Amino acid sequence: MFDKIYIEKLKSNFSEAVRVILTNKIRTLLTSLGIIFGVAAVITMLAIGNGAEKEILAQLELVGVNNIVITPIPDEKEDQNQEEDEDGASESKRFSKGLDMLDVESIAKNIPSIKSVSPEIILETYVIKKGRQNPVKLIGVFPEYFASANINIESGKNFSEAQSESALPVCIIGKKIEKKLFTGESAIGKNIKVKDVWLQVVGVIEEKFVSENAQENLGIRDMNLDIYIPAKTFLVRYKDRKIISDKPIDFGGGGVIFMGNQQGPKKKIPRGNYHQIDKLIVQVNDSKELNATADVLSRMLKRRHNDVLDFEISIPIQLLKQQQKTKQIFNIVLSIIAGISLLIGGIGIMNIMLASVLERTKEIGIIRAIGATQEDVILQFLTESVLVSIGGGIIGIILGVLASYILEITTGIETILSLSSILLSFFVATLIGLIFGIAPAKSAASKSPIEAIRHE
C-alpha cells in the first residue's frame, strides 16, 4: 500500500514538473544551456582522447618495442666541416667515414645490453611488371629487422642466414606491392625485376595502416609499398656508397671535401651522402636500459667517427610517451573546462529554481494547506531540477556525438565514442540537477503555509 502511494506521488510530481517546464520553455532551455554544452564538451573531449590513445598505441606498434634509432646526418653544417684560422682562411675539420656496416658489427659485438641490430639501406627505384615501371623503395635489411620493427610476415618466410650471407637475389614485399603486381594470386616463389636485377619473392609482410601523422612525426614509411632484400644483396647488387668508382660524384647529400693550392684558398666541394647505411635500428633487452645504451652508442660512434657528430640518436618510444603525456594533459585541461561549464549550468539551474520558488510561493502555501508535507514539496522541486538536467544531458549527448563526427570529417582527427563516456556524461548531468536542486527545494519546503498563502 505504501509503495503504491509513493509511486502515485512520483507520477504526480513528474506530471507537474513536465507542466511547469513546458509552460516556461524558453527559460528552461536557457537554464539548461550550461548542462547542454558541458555534456557535449565532455563527450567530444573523451572521444578525442580515446582517438589519440588509439593512435599512440598504433604508433608504438609501428616503431617496435625497446628500439633505439640511429640516423646519419649527411647535410653537415658549415661550421662542422671547416673552421677559420687567424687570417680568415678556411681549414677542414676532422674527417668522418660515416655510418657503415663496420659500425653495425662493432655495436653488435661490444654492447651486451643489445638484443639485435639491423641497418636500413634505402634506394628509391622502380619495379617492372608487364613493361610498366612502378616506383618503390628498396630496403636492405638484416633478417632481425622484421622482429625489431614489429613487422609480421603474413605468407612465405624470412631471409635465411645463407641467403643473407651469400647476397642471393631474394626479397620480401609489402602487401600493396603484391596486390598491385600479382592481382588475385600469391607472389611467393615468383620473380620481379627491381631496376636491373631479378629478385625471387620469398615472403609478403602483413598489411599495416600507417597514418600520415606517424609518417611525419616518426619518419615511418608506408611499409606496405616497400621491397626488402638482404643488406649484403643490396650492397653487392645495387649500391654501396663506400666503394669509389669512376662514376660522377653524387652531390645530392651533405658533407664536404676541400680542394685548393698554394696560390688560393681551399675550395669546398660537397662530398655527397657518404654514409653507407641510411638508418640503424638497435633493439635492447630491457626498456630500463634504453637511456644508458643510447649514451654508450653515442660515445662509441663519436669515437669511431673521429669526434664528428654526423649521426642522430633517438628513442621513438620515449618520444611517443612524451607526446602521449602532452595529449593527456591537454585532454585533462579541456575536460576541466567542460566540467566548469557543467558547474555553471548547475548554478544556473539553482538560480532559476530559486526564482521559481519565489514566483510560486502562494502555490506552495496552498498545496501545504491542503495536506502536502515538506517532503512532498522537496520532491516536487527536485523532480523539476532533475528533469531540466536530464533534458539538457540528452541534448548535450546528441550534440557531443554530432560534434565528434563532424570534427573527424573536417579535421581528420580520429575520434572514438564510447558508451562509458556517454553514460558518465549523462550521470554527471543528472547528479548536478539533483545537487543544485536541493537548496531551492529546501527553501520552498521551509516556508510557512499561512505566510506563503498571504504572499503577493
The per-residue DSSP string of 18-33 comes to HHHHHHTHHHHHHHTH
What pLDDT sits at residue 85?
44
What pLDDT sits at residue 265?
47
CA distance 263 to 258: 15
Helix, strand counts (H, E) of the chain:
16, 14
Question: Per residue in 347-385, is it b (16+ CB within 10 Å) or e — as a string?
Answer: ebbbebbeebbeebbeebbebbeeebeeeebbbbbbbbb
* Unique residue bearing C-alpha cell 650471407: 165
Neighbours of 447 (CB within 10 A): 18
Cell of 39: 555534456
What pLDDT sits at residue 171?
94
- Neighbouring residues of 147: CB distance < 8 A, sequence distance ≥ 6: 116, 283
CA distance 53 to 268: 49
Q: Which amino acid is at 349?
A: I
The H or E element spanning position 59 is helix 33-63
Task: Calculate ∠ Cα 282-288-291, nearest 5°.
Answer: 60
- Where do the structural domains in the chain lie, given as residue ranges? 2-59+322-454, 66-316
Phi, psi of 270, rounded to the nearest 5 degrees: -60, 140
Q: Which long-range contacts (CB under 8 A, 24 or more apart) does 56-62 make?
A: 56/320, 56/323, 56/324, 56/327, 58/209, 58/211, 58/214, 59/211, 59/213, 59/214, 59/217, 59/218, 59/220, 59/320, 60/317, 60/320, 61/150, 62/150, 62/208, 62/210, 62/214, 62/218, 62/220
CA distance 232 to 73: 22
What pLDDT sits at residue 9?
67
Question: Per residue in 302-313, is it b (16+ CB within 10 Å) or e — as a string?
Answer: eebbeebebbeb
Cell of 71: 640516423
CA distance 36 to 399: 8
| Collapsed DSSP state (helix, strand, coil) of residue 403 | helix
**316: nearest Cα among 179, 218, 250:** 218
In angstroms, how far is CA 131 from the centroid of its own chain?
40
Cβ–Cβ < 8 Å for 100, 277: yes
Phi, psi of 377, rounded to the nearest 5 degrees: -65, -45
**pTM of this structure:** 0.60
What pLDDT sits at residue 58?
66
What pLDDT sits at residue 4?
66
CA atoms within 13 A on the CB side of 114: 22
| Cα distance from N-terminal residue to C-terminal residue, the chain | 39
* Unique residue bearing C-alpha cell 663496420: 102
In angstroms, how far is CA 404 from the centroid of its own chain?
17
Give average pLDDT by consecutive 10-residue segment, the chain, 456 residues: 64 72 77 83 84 70 75 61 43 73 90 89 87 87 87 90 90 90 88 91 84 58 86 91 57 42 46 80 84 89 87 78 72 76 80 74 73 75 82 89 89 82 84 80 71 60
